[in-house]
Structure 1
Amino acid sequence: MSITIGARRKRHYACIAAGFAIGLPSAANAQTAESTSEDILVTGRPEADLTVPNGTASRLNLSPLETPATLSVIDGATIRAQGDMAIADAESRAPGITSVGNLGNGGTALAARGFSGQGSVLQLIDGVRLFPAAGTLTFPTDPWMVERIDILNGPASVLYGQGALGGAVNVLMRKPNARRTEIDGEIGYGSQDTFHVAAGAGGPAGEHLSYRIDGSYRRSDGYVDRGQSRSYALSATLRWAPTATLAVTVRDDYGSQNPMRYFGTPLIDGRLNDGNRRLNYNTRDGYVRFRDNRTSLQVDWTPSTALTVSNQAYRLTSKRSWLNLESYCWVATDGACPNGNGDGAATPGRIYRTDMTGIVHDQTQWGDQGSVTFRTPIADGLSNDLVVGFDVNLIKLTYSHNFGAAPQVSQVDPYDFDPGVIVDTQGIAPRYRTRTTEYAVFAEDRLKLGEHVSIVGGIRYERDKIERWTIDGPTEAFALDKRLHNTTWRVGSVYQPIPTVSLYAQYATGVDPLGTLTTYSTGQAQFSNAVGNQVEVGAKAVFLDGRGTATLAAYRIVKTGLLAQLTPTSPIEQVGQRSAKGIEAAVSIDLPRGFGIDANGSVLNARFDDFMSGTANYAGNTPPDVPETMANLWLRWSATPTVQARAGLRYVGRRFSDNANAFRIPGYATVDTTLSYAVTPRVAVDLHVYNLFDAAYAINSYGVQQWVLGRPRAVDVSLRAGF
């Protein structure tokens, strides 16, 4: 199997080609190699196994049953079998997680436990935190590359630093299999002229070497006018294990995205109108481009069962570009938009278009993360595990824009209009650059008191330095030198009355930046990070001889240090507070006769406790982008060894798009189905139906009455193969 994808980055093809040359077995070897891989149809619940050690919720590699926190694991093979087309789609099927993505944040932002955005729900790749620029992240790019996704709900600052009060999402990429050769691929076509092709290969390449290479390409005409998109992703990994105790892994991942240039659909008279649901009010020449490249070197050394040393060095580059007409609103009879645009002089009954915006992010992140783990038996039934380590990052960002250009305003008929072109009187040029340096040291410890009780605690000290220079043509001026430092910690206890049941409680602290760390402004220089804490109690169980799992958690998070006012005439201070309390539950069961169920749900109450801005008092209101009810249900049935059916329900409750709760986004429910037929034990045909009942719903809003709509009903057919 081979893939040809047009691209300009020839060095990435060289990397992929080198991977083939080093390790791809010949056809003869492939035919004689022993294969122990499973059939092509994915069965069972690998994502729900609570007994498998996991390094995301604890650096001590504890299993979810041993961890006093809520951890969800989504298996990559299940993601691909369900037909999720974006990583955020898969992430939002986990308990308490919803997507709040739009083009402004890279389409990757999430909400968890009453908090939303890149500043409160941290994103990681292979355990390395990603630093957003102006609230934007665009990497990793494709579900094909994913081995699994780990989601830690609740504060994760003690593990990964600032920006993780709501949770942390860790995407782990596919890795080499040193025991056997694996080759897999898929090709699919469907509604909206959607096409996808992907392939990968990996396995041993000698006594000490193993490799993995992957490539994926997607394109679509989209579900709005001028909604074309395309993307491709490439990955190559080489692992060298000269001894049983030492492994060195080198990998390179590249993603290129040209997403749908769609910033949302304006409501008409406050309602979603069937007449403009498929219209795109952006200009015909608007564009969005994301290019990301990650290179890493990982060393793992285990000289004994009592000692483990690990270090990962990495470099990530991101180049993101936007030039679009972004804001649209329907003009009411008073000549003004609901968002205040129009100034009362716009033409009633027209769509008012404005906010011509051009931005370029040129960002590079270098980092190194190392740790040493000590496992010490103390006495019979008493042991202690300790990990200590460091985390260092340097992020350089050049931020270019065309802010201040003459505004481009047009008024068009809501249903029949010429999209026009961008008129940029100023041009996009570098306006400022920042250098962000992060140093952190951390430690985590587990004291096991016999067979039933353990105490887990951790602490992290982090220091951040942000420097900023303004750019005016060929000259620069130093504008900001901001220092931030925080200490976060957590302590919890786990009680296991029997090996398959855990009861736990935990107290954890966290830190969120005001905005985005790498784009810290001079207006924020006098303020520090916001801080928070969480109390969580819960239970986890494995039952039915391992065929079923269940988790239940109750929590309360309080965040203080929001920028607010004590009175309408007071200056802005860090005196605001918000909180969230809720319950999350999940269950997964393999039933007789090939049936299975995976279900989760979350109910929470998120509110501003003390938050005033000007004359507006928002106390008691729900923060924007936070649904307070969420649920996911997947039913699966392996009717025969060759036929499998899946049906998934996703429910997201109502949200608000403003602090005053004046603009409401209705809740929605969508149903996705998949029918798979195994032509052979290694080849399957999948029929995916997305949004079966063609629900009209908003994923998020871009402005108070500009909804980013989800995909309408679509049918895709794909062919999968694995050898």
Structure 2
Amino acid sequence: MHITHRTPLALAVAVALLPAVAGAQQPRDQAAAAQPDATELDTIVVSGAAQAGGLRKRDASYSITTATLEQVQEAAPKSTADLLKIVPGVWAESAGGNTGANIDVRGFPGGSDAPFITVQLDGSPLYPPPTVSFLENSSLFRIDDTVENVEVLRGGPSPIFGNGQPGATINFIQRKGGLTPEGSLRLTTGSGSQRRVDGFYGAPINEQWSYSVGGFWRSSDGIRDTQYPADEGGQFSATLTRWFDNGELTLYGRMLDDKNAFFTAVPLISRDGGRDVDAFPGFDPGSDTLLGEDFRHVDIEVGPGETIRRDLAEGRGADIDLFGAILDLDFGGWRLSHRSNYLSGDAPTNSLFTGANPQTLGSWLDHAIDDANDDPAVVAAAGGPASSASASFVTGGGAVDPEQQVLTAGWWVVDKELDSFTSETRLSFDLAPGHTLTAGAYYANYSSRDRWYLGNEMLLTVEPNARRIDVELDNGVAVTREGFAGAPFFALDARYDGENLAGFAAHEWQISEVLRFDAGFRYEEQKVDALISNAAAADYDGDPTTLYNNGASLRDGSYRSLRYDNDEVSWTAGLNWRMSDAASVFARVNSGFFFPQFDNLRDGQDNTQQVDQYEIGLKSGNALFDLYLTAFYNEFEGLPFQLFLDDGTNVTAIGDSRAHGLEFEGALRPFDNFEVALTGNWVEAEYRNFGDNTGNEVRRQPSLQYRVTPSYFVPAGWADLKLYATYTYVGRRYSDPENEQRIPSYQTVDAGVAAYVGENWEFRLSGSNLTDEIGLTEANARIVGDAVTGDVFLGRPIFGRAWEFSAAYRF
């Protein structure tokens, strides 16, 4: 981790703050019941609020979605990113599994990963850059029963606080110990031989101290059968809380060690000009995968005489430790808040990335012969051209039928070693009656050590749990090695160090009992230093007749240095008018920015992205209904686009966009115990100043998506039951900026039932995608433009029909 002279100062300030109070008192009762006439509008939210105590949802002049742990469980998310399906304005592609999601927000022109999504834990970002290649924030967090609730803020004042995220901030609030001992134990099973246990226990130590411990462990073969555990690992969490007369201090730690299979595109059939999708013969898009034992353990060539041994079961997981501190103090008119955390660990990628469309083995062999005969060096070394080829299975041997469908897919290896420290301190005080000023500072120091070997194409059969194929020409030319038809096309060794320092101020003015105004600004400086390896094309063994390692990427031992230093200012202003206890309206404008991250700078994209957003919203609710509407407009400048194609070409571009839309979130309760909830959004977003793609729709994001969830609560003598179901509609969109890879709309149906037995027991059964819909989240991400050959293409579908059952005991 790169440490500058500012880091010891920030650490010293943080440490000095922690014991800066004395005297103890009873803590506020965290289990206090809500007032009988309270509504959703009375929910206290802390994300986006200038002061640590937060404010009521009705008084917040921005859009924020909240969910309790029970609401999270009802949504049955398959990953942290999948939970975002309950948030209007956010589009999360979680079909890849527990990690590696692509997440977009409000028509922002994201390229891949999740650059405009920050995941926080109790107000601190997990890793200051929201996205670096092969790592987005949601991959560093797992939802379990140690979560109290979650808040998701879109736009609003978020460019001012934290790491200045202009898109969406997901803030998970931890459960802590209180005055009364409490705990829970949950056992879960389900599709894919899932076995999972979650636990939590919190209790007081004495009148001044409390603690909590919890976490989860699970093993699952996955909804898609990988022939080995697709998800395996767990998490342990602990908190320690100290109460004072004027506030409290919490220290926490979370240790995550989780391995997750990562799924990319599979073969599909395109119908009606891309308006419909069918399964490829012999391949179920909802439950099958190319991954399997045949190439789980491989030796990958990375240089002359050098190989690395890898296990596909390592997947795209995380092995990280996270430690943090939360301090809130009230000095009577002066309020101090501090948040800091430190993260360290690894986030590797060991996954299969598909590329070109399937073809018959005979066709593939013809191309291999032609390519070899077109290279004079190969012909000369072999003593003449080839006229035929033989193909056999790597495992078990045996000839392969020339009519067998095959494709090539890359066994990509990305190792990341991460370190980061973040610290944010705020001081709020009352200038005059109705006027509150908050001033603060944010500091982040972070690093990433990257070792990449992209490419490593294998020749595979197109079938569930594909098999490798070896090919040799009749003139002795070896086309493959243990199924590998290529070596790395991009070898990288890079050391990145970043540092951000920001100062901010916000003014809250309660103009009258019903009118509230707030404004703020932020000045931030970012510095990045990096060492990046240089590479050139090489023949690893110096033998032209071994085609599988000719023209490979090889680091030459030299490095280029990179230095970046820039500063920017963001600002925001919002007005909230409470028309009545049941309704309020707000208006908000902000101007934020997004500094280039490590990979942008490596590719020469050193521009800062500028985002201007405008919002107006309505919040209304009572015993009969809740309704939240937000209309938004945004302009985006300086989008950096980057994509590795199937042949290793690194495509980069910079452009602009603009978007407008409507977010909606609500619930209707026409009679006792029955509710219908609705959430979703409509958006129109297009590229501007983006070359030939100007005027095209921003990639991936549906223009319309929504979820309708009816639920019915049934009081019974032996148990209380809650029945619920969700209908989801996702509109059509395009996978590429060229708008040539159309992704059709789809609908899914989920359902569940929860039974609450006595004071302690809860049983929950849920099913997802009950109609086994073929829904795509992306088409072929390794091809620019049209990606259909005949009627065959590659796309990434959602998971097929699945079920889950859990039993929980609370005490």
The interval holding the TM-score normalised by the smaller chain is 0.7 to 0.9
Q: CA deviation at 1:114?
A: 0.9
Aligned-partner Cα distance in 2 for 1:184–1:562: 46
Native 8 Å contact 1:126 1:172 kept in 2 = yes
Q: CA deviation at 1:398?
A: 0.4
Amino acid at match of 1:359: V
Change (3 A) 1:563 1:647: closer
The aligned runs of 1:409-558 (5 Å cut-off) are: 409-414=458-463, 417-419=466-468, 431-471=493-533, 477=559, 479-514=561-596, 517-524=597-604, 527-544=606-623, 548-558=625-635
Native 8 Å contact 1:395 1:518 kept in 2 = no
The aligned runs of 1:287-366 (5 Å cut-off) are: 287-288=314-315, 289-304=317-332, 306-331=333-358, 350-366=405-421
Q: CA deviation at 1:681?
A: 2.3
Question: Residue in 2 aligned with 1:220?
Answer: 220
Cα deviations across residues 462-488 of structure 1 (Å, max 9, x unaligned)?
111010013588977451011121111
The answer to whether the aligner puts 1:126 opposite 2:126 as a matched pair is no
Change (3 A) 1:589 1:182: farther
Cα deviations across residues 516-547 of structure 1 (Å, max 9, x unaligned)?
x133434426x321102011111111223xx5
Native 8 Å contact 2:750 2:766 kept in 1 = yes
Q: CA deviation at 1:93?
A: 1.0
Question: Residue in 2 aligned with 1:86?
Answer: 79
Aligned-partner Cα distance in 1 for 2:492–2:213: 36
Cα deviations across residues 348-374 of structure 1 (Å, max 9, x unaligned)?
983321333211010100121111111
Moved more, 317-326 or 596-605: 317-326
The answer to whether the aligner puts 1:273 opposite 2:353 as a matched pair is no
Amino acid at match of 1:537: I
The answer to whether the aligner puts 1:719 opposite 2:807 as a matched pair is yes
Change (3 A) 1:135 1:150: farther
Native 8 Å contact 2:335 2:428 kept in 1 = yes
SS of 1:165's partner is coil
Specify which of 93, 96, 100 is matched with residue 93 of structure 2: 100
Question: Residue in 1 aligned with 2:43?
Answer: 52
Change (3 A) 1:200 1:335: same
Amino acid at match of 2:100: G
Amino acid at match of 1:554: A
Q: TM-score, normalised by structure 1?
A: 0.83
Aligned-partner Cα distance in 1 for 2:446–2:37: 39
Cα deviations across residues 46-87 of structure 1 (Å, max 9, x unaligned)?
9x8222332212223232222221111111222124433422
Aligned-partner Cα distance in 2 for 1:496–1:433: 51
The answer to whether the aligner puts 1:580 opposite 2:655 as a matched pair is no
Cα deviations across residues 222-267 of structure 1 (Å, max 9, x unaligned)?
12231622231110001011x2213221100122221124223132
- Alpha-carbon RMSD across the aligned residues, in angstroms, is 3.4
Amino acid at match of 2:459: S
Aligned-partner Cα distance in 1 for 2:80–2:706: 18
SS of 2:598's partner is helix
Amino acid at match of 1:651: Y
Moved more, 81-90 or 713-722: 81-90
Q: CA deviation at 1:168?
A: 2.0
Aligned-partner Cα distance in 2 for 1:475–1:388: 48
Q: How many residues are aligned here?
A: 657
Aligned-partner Cα distance in 1 for 2:407–2:78: 33
SS of 1:519's partner is helix
Amino acid at match of 1:128: S
Amino acid at match of 1:710: I
Change (3 A) 1:427 1:522: closer
Aligned-partner Cα distance in 1 for 2:617–2:567: 31
Aligned-partner Cα distance in 1 for 2:202–2:780: 42
Native 8 Å contact 2:518 2:573 kept in 1 = yes
Amino acid at match of 1:542: G
Native 8 Å contact 1:163 1:513 kept in 2 = no
Native 8 Å contact 2:185 2:200 kept in 1 = yes
Amino acid at match of 1:627: P
Amino acid at match of 1:292: I
Native 8 Å contact 2:360 2:405 kept in 1 = no
Native 8 Å contact 2:124 2:162 kept in 1 = no
Change (3 A) 1:644 1:104: closer
Aligned-partner Cα distance in 2 for 1:310–1:384: 18
Change (3 A) 1:102 1:391: farther
Amino acid at match of 2:630: A
Amino acid at match of 2:620: A
Native 8 Å contact 1:151 1:167 kept in 2 = yes
Question: Residue in 1 aligned with 2:744?
Answer: 666
Amino acid at match of 1:602: N
Amino acid at match of 1:206: N
Specify which of 685, 689, 708 is matched with residue 767 of structure 2: 689
Q: CA deviation at 1:334?
A: 14
Moved more, 104-113 or 675-684: 104-113
SS of 1:450's partner is coil
Question: Residue in 2 aligned with 1:7?
Answer: none
Change (3 A) 1:279 1:674: closer
Native 8 Å contact 1:398 1:430 kept in 2 = no
The answer to whether the aligner puts 1:284 opposite 2:333 as a matched pair is no
Amino acid at match of 2:427: V
Q: CA deviation at 1:384?
A: 0.8
Identity %: 18
Aligned-partner Cα distance in 1 for 2:404–2:807: 48
Structure 1: runs of 5+ lacking an equivalent: 1-33, 565-571
Moved more, 204-213 or 491-500: 491-500
Q: CA deviation at 1:345?
A: 7.2
Change (3 A) 1:702 1:399: farther
Aligned-partner Cα distance in 1 for 2:457–2:75: 43
Moved more, 203-212 or 647-656: 647-656
Change (3 A) 1:320 1:562: closer
Amino acid at match of 1:252: G
SS of 1:164's partner is coil
Amino acid at match of 1:644: K
Moved more, 708-717 or 480-489: 708-717
Question: Residue in 2 aligned with 1:151?
Answer: 152
Native 8 Å contact 2:47 2:123 kept in 1 = yes
Q: TM-score, normalised by structure 2?
A: 0.75
Change (3 A) 1:555 1:208: same
Moved more, 575-584 or 147-156: 147-156
Native 8 Å contact 2:358 2:405 kept in 1 = yes
Question: Residue in 2 aligned with 1:201?
Answer: 201
Native 8 Å contact 1:479 1:522 kept in 2 = no
Change (3 A) 1:508 1:279: same
Native 8 Å contact 1:233 1:256 kept in 2 = yes
The answer to whether the aligner puts 1:76 opposite 2:82 as a matched pair is no
Change (3 A) 1:343 1:630: farther
SS of 1:533's partner is strand
Amino acid at match of 1:120: F
Native 8 Å contact 2:686 2:698 kept in 1 = yes
Change (3 A) 1:610 1:332: farther
Native 8 Å contact 1:126 1:170 kept in 2 = yes
Q: CA deviation at 1:595?
A: 0.9
Q: CA deviation at 1:333?
A: 9.2
Change (3 A) 1:82 1:492: closer
Aligned-partner Cα distance in 1 for 2:161–2:653: 24
Structure 2: runs of 5+ lacking an equivalent: 1-28, 272-276, 298-311, 373-401, 470-481, 535-554, 642-650, 784-792
Question: Residue in 1 aligned with 2:448?
Answer: 397
Native 8 Å contact 2:443 2:501 kept in 1 = yes
Aligned-partner Cα distance in 2 for 1:269–1:668: 14
Q: CA deviation at 1:453?
A: 1.5
